[in-house]
Amino acid sequence: MNTETIVIRSESDLHQLKRAGDILRSSGLVAFPTETVYGLGGNALDKAASKKIYAAKGRPSDNPLIVHIATPEEAEKYCVTNELYYELAASFMPGPLTVILPKKYVDGIPVVPDETTGGLDSVAIRCPADPVAHKLIVSAGVPIAAPSANTSGSPSPTSAEHVIHDLMGKIDMIIDGGESVFGLESTVVRISENTIYLLRPGAVTAEQLSVFADELIIADEHLKEGERPLSPGMKYKHYAPAKPLYLVSGDEDQILNFLLEKQDTEKCAIICYDEDAQVLSPDNLFLLGKKNDLLSHAHRLFDFLRKTDITDASVIYARLPDKEGIGLALYNRLIRASGHNIINLK
Ligand code: AMP
Ligand code: MG
């Protein structure tokens, strides 16, 4: 298939979204930038488009897609909303928050087809803040189902270059809108009247969400072996580089000594903080930003997971993040990317 690529850098480029909207209305697939990661979009109400999304990504068909809308109120057409949804929407939409709500039925038929929701009775709703994503939804005139625009299992794409690498020739169009500002996928929550279940941590943090409900349950920590995951995506291997990745935890001295020794004895790539460059040798060092600059870490992490793969290193080491604030999202992505390979030096 011929994949058209368009570049949008300013207002004057936006007219090109008309054609992207046409493609989406005729069951085609368009990869587009958002503030979290790039999405692979298709008409959420069109079974054929959803099936194509799963095929292009190689995504298991029981892993549901997030439905992207232009304004929070549009959720009324597809889901049963509640007060808590609108409270969250007032604070975090448009933005990197996905809310799971019960499906809406008209004459016994779900408005959003099972093909989009992996057969579930609920719909995941997000209202992206990225201006290109917003204008694309408006131009399409339909809600856009979009998972991350990568091959299933590989690190999510945070630039058009990543999407081109994974999906060129498999979809109709790629919109290059520059690098994703945040760089990790949206926070996903399921809500009942006064409980928030955090299914996937992201830029909207557990701390920020907790003030909106009597109880906030972090699903990952409550997931026992053999239990049915609340979010089907949680059971799949994710974000994985092709090379083995180990996460290192311990005191500062222990970590640095460990990494120095590895640099001496192994061909390794290391994902760490700017400050570490004063101690470690520059060879295959990937600096996430200053130690406390978690936004910079989020912005660079997936790009680094891809880049470490194309070095001559045979193994990758990264620091295990703390679980506070956005750190929880970084922690969640890295433990999955590493297949829970943690080296605890304490
Ligand atoms: P991705 O599209 O790759 O960013 O992944 C979307 C995430 O949202 C996956 O972990 C899905 O399992 C989850 N998700 C989407 N829709 C639902 C839903 N209706 N119920 C539970 N989880 C969902
Ligand atoms: Mg994904």
Q: Label residue 224 by pLDDT band (50, 70, 90).
A: very low
Do residues 15 and 96 both lie within one domain? yes
My answer on whether 28 and 123 are in the same domain is yes
Judgement on whether residues 206 and 114 belong to the same structural domain of the protein: yes
Backbone angles phi, psi at 101, to 5 degrees: -130, 160
Eight-state DSSP code of residue 216: E
Q: Are residues 107 and 25 in the same domain?
A: yes
Residue in 100, 166, 197, 333 to alter for ligand 1 test, most ligand atoms within 8 A of Cβ: 100
Do the beta carbons of residue 320 and residue 342 sit within 8 Å?
yes
pLDDT tens profile 79-93: 999 999 999 999 999
Residue 229: pLDDT above 90?
no
Ligand 1: which of 69, 148, 231 to mutate, judged by most atoms within 8 Å of the beta carbon? 231
Mean pLDDT of 244-251: 96
Report d(CA 274, CA 291) in Å as an integer: 7
In a domain, 208, yes or no: yes
User: Does residue 77 form part of some domain?
Assistant: yes
Based on the domain organization, do 271 and 340 belong to the same domain?
Answer: yes
Q: Does the pLDDT value for residue 253 go beyond 70?
A: yes
> Lowest mean pLDDT: which of 79-93, 153-167, 227-241?
227-241
State the Cα–Cα distance between residues 99 and 85, nearest whole angstrom. Answer: 7
Atom of ligand 1 lying closest to residue 98 CA: 8
CATH number for 256: 3.40.50.11030
Same-domain pairing of 25 and 106:
yes
Q: What is the largest CA-CA distance in the chain?
A: 68
What residues does ligand 1 touch, defined as CB less than 6 Å away? 63-66, 100, 117, 120, 122-124, 147-148, 185, 188, 199-200, 231-234
Give 228: exposed, middle or buried? Use CB within 10 Å, 0-12, 13-18, 19+: exposed
What is the β-pairing status of strands 245-249 and 268-272?
A: unpaired
Among the atoms of ligand 1, which is closest to the Cα of residue 122?
19
Ligand number, closest to the Cα atom of 233: 1
- Residue to substitute in 29, 37, 61, 63 for testing ligand 1 pocket (most ligand atoms within 8 angstroms of CB): 63
Atom number in ligand 1 closest to CA 63? 12
Residue 233 has pLDDT above 80, yes or no: no
Q: Are 97 and 85 in contact (CB under 8 A)?
A: no
Tell me what pLDDT residue 235 has: 58
Q: From ligand 1's centre to the CA of 11, what distance in Å?
A: 32
Distance 230 CA to ligand 1 centre (A): 9
Q: Is residue 212 part of a domain?
A: yes
226 is a domain residue: no
- Answer whether 299's CB lies under 8 Å from 179's CB: yes
What percentage of the chain exceeds 90 in pLDDT? Answer: 88
Domain that holds residue 205: 4-218
Asked if residue 41 lies in contact with residue 28, where contact means CB atoms within 8 angstroms, the answer is no
Does the pLDDT value for residue 221 go beyond 60? no
Distance from the alpha carbon of residue 200 to the mean position of ligand 1, in angstroms: 9
Are 169 and 34 in a shared domain? yes
Can you give the pLDDT at residue 153?
A: 86
Residue range 141-154, pLDDT digits in tens: 999 999 999 999 88
Q: How far is the CA of 111 from the centre of ligand 2 (A)?
A: 24
pLDDT at 228 over 90: no
**pLDDT over 70 percentage in the chain:** 95
Q: Is residue 53 part of a domain?
A: yes
pLDDT reading at 165 higher than 80: yes
pTM of the model: 0.95
pLDDT of residue 220: 66
Output the pLDDT for position 309.
87
Whether 225 shows a pLDDT value over 50: the answer reads: no
Ligand 1: which residue has its CA nearest to atom 11?
A: 233
Report how far ligand 1's centroid is from the alpha carbon of 165 (Å): 23
- The per-residue DSSP string of 216-242 comes to EEEGGGG--TTPPPSSGGGGS--S--S
Tokens (6 digits) for 98: 């996905």
Q: How many A from CA of 152 to the centre of ligand 2?
A: 7
Co-location of 249 and 312 in the same domain:
yes
Distance 66 CA to ligand 2 centre (A): 10
HEC profile of 125-191? EECCCCHHHHHHHHHHCCCEECCECCCCCCCCCCCHHHHHHHHCCCCCEEEECCCCCCCCCCEEEEE
Tens-digit pLDDT profile for residues 186-207: 999 999 888 999 999 999 999 9
Question: What is the mean pLDDT of the segment spanning 286-297?
Answer: 98
In angstroms, how far is CA 203 from the centroid of its own chain? 10
Which protein residue's CA is at the shortest distance from atom 23 of ligand 1? 231
31-69 pLDDT, tens digit per residue, is 999 999 999 999 999 999 999 999 999 998 889 999 999
Is residue 331, in this structure, part of any structural domain at all?
A: yes
**Does 211 share its domain with 327?**
no
Q: Token pair for residue 182? A: 């945040």
Judged against a pLDDT cut of 90, whether residue 283 lies above it is answered with yes
**Which atom of ligand 1 lies closest to the CA of 234?**
10
**36 and 141 part of one domain:** yes
Please tell me the number of the ligand nearest to residue 155's CA: 2
Number of independent structural domains in the chain = 2
Name the closest ligand to CA 96: 1
Same domain, 278 and 331: yes
Instruction: Name residue 316's beta-bridge partners.
Output: 245, 269
Q: Which of 203, 218, 233 is the last residue of a domain?
A: 218
Q: Which amino acid belongs to residue 26?
A: S
Confidence of residue 237 (pLDDT cuts 50, 70, 90): low
Asked if 48 and 56 count as a contact pair (C-beta separation under 8 A), the reply is: no
